[in-house]
Amino acid sequence: MHKRRGRTSRIRRRKLFRSSESRGVTESYKYEFIELKKWLKDRKFEDTNLTPACFPGTGRGLMSKTSLQEGQMIISLPESCLLTTDTVIQSYLGAYITKWKPPPSPLLALCTFLVSEKHAGDQSPWKPYLDILPKAYTCPVCLEPEVVNLLPKPLKAKAEEQRVRVQEFFASSRDFFSSLQPLFGEAVDSIFSYSALLWAWCTVNTRAVYLRPRRQECLSAEPDTCALAPYLDLLNHSSNVQVKAAFNEETRCYELRTASSWRKHEEVFICYGHHDNHQLLLEYGFVSIRNPHACVYVSRNLTFGWDGPSWRLLTALKLLCLEAEKFTCWKKVLLGEVISDTNEKASLDIAQKICCYFIEETNAMLQKVSHMKDEKAALINQLTLVETLWMEELKILKASAEVVHGLQTASP
């Protein structure tokens, strides 16, 4: 008869299971990463701290080879590895950019280079980097219109603005693309298509690191602050970490120092910024689970968060609930003063009703997304992304409802 395992054993097994769930599987043996490492080595970069790996939940990222201490340099990427407007101007595109009027924007220069080099295929010296870039992106501009229609209204409006902006970018760039015809043996319209430019635009928008502004005479006056950083851009986002990242003018390297510590074989993250999930999806194409900066928009900057209604939302409701004889006290409301128990109770009651309404609406949207997943198998990945956003919003609303209920209970 087998000996029964006790409580300690069960706890140990659960810990091991959780540990194995979060552990990455190395991808350094894959051909594209072997080639990338060779390419980086030729440009004077070798990484001893990190290795490519695939993680549950986040997908492809970078895993620590050894424990990393707070303040430690984790990546120092030489300038020769960075893809900047300098790279483009010093290339075969430079002469065409220099003579084009009005001057192309820094963004157009980078996107043109990416499309051209991708078209070059095996002939491109940037092939090892291009091969590890995503083949497609999940920013709203890349989503099908019927999927965009399922987004929360504030995000849907921004997504439609983003689509118009990229379409206008493409339309305004076509004459410049035509000027590049002498460089190619086939029609430039087939090379610099909307889908090709969209891919390049998303590559820059989602993966570029920030450089101090500089001015190139042959480019427009728009800020020239973007650089693509091969290998470094494999790092995934977490709102819970802090890093220091900047180009070091003395070493001529883009350096990344961690303000957190990491154990061996953990996924190493960077923070793209303190963004809510709407901004993360709009700009980077993903949703962050349990994002501390996430919120649900009631109207513009009136929101529900993990810790309840925002100060602005509660203040707006308190102003709305002012009794006629208290109208003159509106400045005190803005200063955070309690006007009356009646006003406090009325504003909390309305906050709870709004929150409950949004919970019902969110559940209805989740049902709608679920039905569409059953009917539109080809859109399953896009729909799952939208579903994740709504599920996070539902968690926030439920947390807010609990906070408001607590405040109601505590009110006299």
Range 65-83 average pLDDT: 94
Same domain, yes or no, for 322 and 199? no
Tell me the pLDDT tens digit for each residue of 183-218.
999 999 999 999 999 999 999 999 999 999 888 999
pLDDT of the residue at 22: 55
Range with lowest mean pLDDT among 288-292, 334-338, 390-394, 404-408? 334-338
Domain membership of residue 153 (yes or no) is: yes
Domain assignment of residue 128, yes or no: yes
Q: Is residue 343 part of a domain?
A: yes
Instruction: Taking residues 40-55, report their average pLDDT.
Output: 93
Tens digit of each residue's pLDDT (9 = 90 or more) over 219-251: 999 999 999 999 999 999 998 888 889 999 999
Q: Is residue 214 located within the same domain as residue 346?
A: no
SS3 139: coil
For residue 27, is it within any domain?
no
Domain boundary among 228, 249, 276: 228
Please tell me the distance from the alpha carbon of residue 384 to that of residue 361, in angstroms, as a whole number. 18
CATH assignment at residue 159: 3.90.1410.10
Same domain (yes/no): 336, 217 = no
Last residue within a domain, chosen from 191, 210, 228? 228
Query: Looking at the domain assignment, is residue 356 inside a domain?
Result: yes
Rg (CA), the chain: 26
Q: Are 237 and 269 in contact (CB under 8 A)?
A: yes
Contacts of 127 (CB under 8 A, 6+ apart): 35, 117, 120, 121
pLDDT at 150: 98
Residues 222 and 302 in one domain: no
Q: Is residue 42 part of a domain?
A: no
Residues in Cβ contact with 361 at an 8 Å cutoff, skipping those fewer than 6 apart: none
Of the chain, the percentage scoring pLDDT greater than 90 comes to: 79
> The domain containing residue 171 runs over which residues?
83-228
297: its two tokens: 């928009």
> For the segment 336-387, what is each residue's pLDDT rounded down to a tens digit?
777 788 888 999 999 999 999 999 999 999 999 999 999 999 999 999 999 9
Q: What's the pLDDT band for 308 if we cut at 50, 70, 90?
A: very high
pLDDT value at residue 20? 38
Asked whether residue 385 is domain-assigned, the answer is yes
Query: Tell me: the pLDDT tens digits for 151-188?
Result: 999 999 999 999 999 999 999 999 999 999 999 999 99
Task: Indicate the residue among 173, 201, 228 that finishes a domain.
Answer: 228
- As a whole number of angstroms, the distance between CA 269 and CA 258 comes to 9
- Do 87 and 217 lie in one domain? The reply is yes
Q: Which residue has the tokens 């870039």?
A: 133
User: Within this chain, do residues 308 and 214 fall inside the same structural domain, yes or no?
Assistant: no
pLDDT average, residue stretch 74-93: 96
Distance between CA atoms of residues 338 and 360, nearest Å:
31
Average pLDDT for 384-404:
98
Q: Domains in the chain: how many in total?
A: 2
Lowest mean pLDDT among 2-16, 93-107, 287-301: 2-16
Residue length of the chain: 412
**Coil, strand or helix at 409:** helix
* Residue 232: both structure tokens together: 């470094």
Q: CA dihedral defined by 120, 125, 129, 132, rounded to 10 degrees?
A: 40
Are residues 315 and 224 located together in one domain of the fold?
Answer: no
pLDDT at 11: 41
222 and 111 part of one domain: yes
Q: How confident is the model at residue 91 (pLDDT cuts 50, 70, 90)?
A: very high
H, E, C per residue of 167-204: HHHHHHHHHHHHHCHHHCCCCHHHHCCHHHHHHHHHHH
pLDDT at 1 over 80: no
- 44 lies in some domain: no
Q: Which residues in 141-166 are b (16+ Cβ under 10 Å) and which e?
A: bbbeeebbebbbeebeebbbebbeeb
What is the CA 63 to chain-centroid distance, rounded? Answer: 19
* Mean pLDDT estimate for the chain: 91
